[in-house]
Structure 1
Amino acid sequence: MESYVFEVEDREGLRLDVYLSEQLKQYSRNYIQQMIKDGLVTVNKKSEKRKYIIKIGDEVSVQVPVPKELDVKSQNIPLDIVFEDEDLLIINKPQGMVVHPGAGNYENTVVNAILYHCRGQLSSINGIIRPGIVHRIDKDTSGLLMVAKNNFTHRSLAQQLKEHSITRQYHAIAVGKIKDHKIKIDAPIGRNPNNRLKMAVVESGRNAITHVSVISPLKDHTYIEAQLETGRTHQIRVHMAYIKHPLLGDEVYGKESLKFNLEGQVLHAKTLGFIHPRNNKYIEFNSEIPNYFSKLLNILKT
């Protein structure tokens, strides 16, 4: 069992689960909430609920249980299927759903769902943890995700990703007013030298390019479209924070994590286009922004 002890020096006023999500970024919010529920978290040597509001001077102790041997199982989880044929599957992932199993997320992931839906007809290139997964989007990012049903399709899609020929457009809400209608962000991304659990713009990082277009100005915010030219971890989130316009709700790279009671960054993978490996024809898919996103737009427009 791994132990952590934190003495609260700042961030007073946060809920206990939110505070621990900031301190233990390697674990999901759901996993942290489960540890609190199981009595593995104490504040000043006393068990508290996840909604406990932390105070300066609090001592927060966490006992992380030894992880269970990973058993990736199929689960009958409803999927929003945008397209399907014998080679691939395009799904519209909801916000809050993890793509593949990992620490604290052994069930209810996209992988668990597609194992059930595809009955074993998935590519094996990425191993048992990520069958069929060609690329991923963050847990709190919603939108389009492609899944390969065989290795032939997986190799083709992976090569297109490598060549940056796949169309990937995202809609998001950024904090602050963005003056320029179009921005090209060309800044290398790598591990944050001060926090290995975060990414950052660093000289030693890998080439990363994001094209940002303003869709409409909002109250103290901006509705944007971001198109990936490359695909680095947290690329849009890191690049928007780099230009001083982090995504609304981003608890890792932004400062307005609790505003509007959001569950994460307001980011949606809206458009996905690529050459179909079987017939070599370009196909493109679009998805509507989720309800919480559209409601937030209406609030910020008035």
Structure 2
Amino acid sequence: MNHYSLKWTIEKTDAGQIIKEFLNAQGISRRALTDIKFTGGSIKVNGQEQNVRYLLKEYDVVVIDFPPEEINEKMKGENIPLSICYEDRDIIVLEKPAYMSTIPSREHPTGSLANALVYYYEQTGNSSAIHIVTRLDRNTSGLVLIAKHRHAHHLLSMQQQRGKIRRYYEAFAENAFDVMKGCVDAPIGRKPSSIIEREVRKDGQKAVTHFEVIRTYHDFSHIRLDLETGRTHQIRVHMAYLGHPLLGDDLYGGNEKVIQRQALHCKELHFEHPIKGSKLSFTASLPLDMETIIKKENE
């Protein structure tokens, strides 16, 4: 995919608009139009290049060619297998295992999901930059949404801002809950003594987490979680704040006896396709380390 393009045939309801108005209605951002004009893209009507002031007529065929994307040459591809649930020309939905960073960091400069995607793109001929829409902490497993080009990323980011991308998590939290479902509305900010750790604090950013107990076991509860906001470590901080740190979460006081990473998995992902508009839903089963804990409890 050297150039990403979009094509429309103008209907009667859109005739009489200038191209700029029509494209804005299709979700083409002002920045994208500027890039198309100045960095190698094109706007064509019936095969002829036109500017954004062109007045559209019924049955006009409009084709937008987006300019090539700038690739981060420092990001090296690595031959790491990807567990892809769904892929088309615009998006990828995949399962990220635990112990894999979403993007490289100083502590983990290689072996990330982004490194794996660079290699995958090299093998499949996609010259796009890496656009990760929904991130997960390194030791959290589950579903991740990837945009395969900048326009899809823009449209999916707009969905995120409107709360249209829904993610549901399952986790194992210490001890039994007093209620079977509830909501934590407590602001989260960085802990002054740490560059990594977060905490509930009055001057933090608004953070809202809904939880529901699926089942209570001997010394932990299997819970389902839904986030209204997406703060760093939000689930982990809120559960620790309630006195129910996640099993294995050493950063927030979780017991590491039965699992050596936070027992947290992004199980469901729901969103609208950025180009087609269709509703998409995906589910990922609990990973082996979490399933093993449940099996042992049921023996």
How does the TM-score come out when normalised to structure 2? 0.72
Aligned match of 1:92: 95
Give the whole-Å Cα distance in 2 for the aligned partners of 1:113 and 1:295. 27
Matched, 1:273 2:270: yes
Aligned match of 1:241: 240
Whichever of the two has the greater Rg, that structure is 2
Aligned match of 2:16: none
Aligned match of 1:285: 282
Choose 81-90 or 131-140, whichever is displaced more.
131-140
Q: Give the aligned CA root-mean-square deviation in angstroms.
A: 1.5
Aligned partner of 1:121 among 110, 122, 126: 126
Give the whole-Å Cα distance in 1 for the aligned partners of 2:277 and 2:127. 20
Aligned match of 2:187: 188
Once the two structures are superposed, what CA deviation does each residue of 1:143-195 show, in whole Å capped at 9, x if it has no partner? 00011111111011112222222110001000010121111111111111333
Listed as ranges, the matches of 1:1-302 within 5 Å are 71-119=74-122, 121=126, 124=129, 131-257=130-256, 259-260=257-258, 262-302=259-299
1:193–1:301: structure 2 CA closer, same or farther, 3 Å change rule? farther
Give the whole-Å Cα distance in 2 for the aligned partners of 1:132 and 1:123. 8
Q: Is the 8 A contact 2:163 2:228 kept in 1?
A: yes
Q: Which amino acid aligns with 2:278?
A: K
Choose 71-80 or 215-224, whichever is displaced more.
71-80
Once the two structures are superposed, what CA deviation does each residue of 1:169-222 show, in whole Å capped at 9, x if it has no partner? 001000010121111111111111333321111111111111100000111110
Q: CA deviation at 1:123?
A: 5.4
Give the whole-Å Cα distance in 1 for the aligned partners of 2:86 and 2:273. 12
Q: CA deviation at 1:122?
A: 6.5
Aligned length in residues? 225
Give the whole-Å Cα distance in 1 for the aligned partners of 2:208 and 2:127. 31
Q: Is the 8 A contact 1:123 1:149 kept in 2?
A: yes
Q: CA deviation at 1:231?
A: 0.5
- Structure 2 gaps of 5+ residues are 1-72
- Structure 1 gaps of 5+ residues are 1-69, 125-130
Give the whole-Å Cα distance in 2 for the aligned partners of 1:301 and 1:239. 28
Choose 186-195 or 88-97, whichever is displaced more.
186-195
Q: Is the 8 A contact 1:75 1:113 kept in 2?
A: yes
Give the whole-Å Cα distance in 2 for the aligned partners of 1:286 and 1:167. 12
Give the whole-Å Cα distance in 1 for the aligned partners of 2:163 and 2:186. 16
Q: Which amino acid aligns with 1:236?
A: I
Give the whole-Å Cα distance in 2 for the aligned partners of 1:243 and 1:75. 40
Q: Which amino acid aligns with 2:118?
A: L
Q: CA deviation at 1:248?
A: 0.4
Q: CA deviation at 1:263?
A: 2.5
Aligned match of 1:5: none
